[in-house]
Amino acid sequence: MKNRITIADLITAKRQGRRIAAVSCYDYITASLVAQTDIEVILVGDSAGQVVLGFDSTLPVKMDFMVAITAAVRRGAPNLFLVADMPFMSYHLGLNQAVENAGRFVTEAGAQMIKIEAGEPYLDVVKAVSDAGMSVMAHIGIRPQTITRVGRFRAEATGAEAALELINLAEQMLHAGAATLLIEGAASEVAEIITQRSEVPVISCGSGPNCDGQILIAPDILGLTQGPGPRFAKNFGTLADDTVRAFGEYAGQIKKGSFPDSKHSYHMKEGELKRLKELLSPNA
């Protein structure tokens, strides 16, 4: 069994120019399969609210749910670097709340890093969690938890002024103690500049190829999602079609009576059925 990947390994990868492969997943089975590959990082994202729970945003996701699924992913992938995502309203009511909830991910779920969707107003949260001894991934660029304020999302930092703002925000996050950056949906050129100026690993989520690593959600990678997704998503499998076929075949065999058969059933020990019938006989 390979040793557990740590933040030191990710920093070494950046310094050596080795790309970091990361994936968002939300359950034990998927995590156990990811652990058999060369992927180094699993993020348990609050995107579970959409792809697992079926909400139209990440906002309804609760802290207890996130802790539970993060612990499940840790059990499935005990040696990968595990990042846990702070859900909406888990760090918005004060620094004590933020540190307490971040600590739950570490003590109850085995997370090694805490992801915070971090605009400038939350620099103190990044610092507080970092000062409490926990590694922080600052999530900048598109931040899904702001959906009710912005209305809809569009690519970030596509103009010079907006690009400068994002670069400055990244530097502020690093100064506050962020140990990694995740840049979502930003112009590739700007993400590359941030990566070059940063001493910590920078992970791209739809922010171009020139960051230190890349992340997609597992359902997109597997081709489990159907219909158009974000521009940056790519299917590396076609499991949605295979899954529909498998469920269809399952239903068909049930309706025909060909499943379950004797091989897929439990049976009484030899001679016991005869004894049972004798016991059930009214003349016994």
List of residues 6+ apart from 136 with CB closer than 8 A: 113, 114, 115, 116, 126, 129, 130, 177, 178, 179, 180
Distance CA 218, CA 46 (A): 13
Range 48-73 burial, b when 16+ CB lie within 10 A, else e: bbbbeeeeeebbebebebbbebbbbb
SS3 211: coil
**Beta carbons of 113 and 180 less than 8 angstroms apart:** yes
Task: Tell me how many degrees the CA angle 233-57-73 measures, rounded to the nearest 5.
Answer: 70
- State residue 271 phi and psi, 5-degree precision: 90, -15
* Catalytic residue selected from 40, 156, 184, 192: 184
SS3 76: helix
Distance CA 52, CA 30 (A): 13
In DSSP terms, 147 is beta-bridged to none
* 184 in active site: yes
Residue positions annotated with a catalytic role: 184
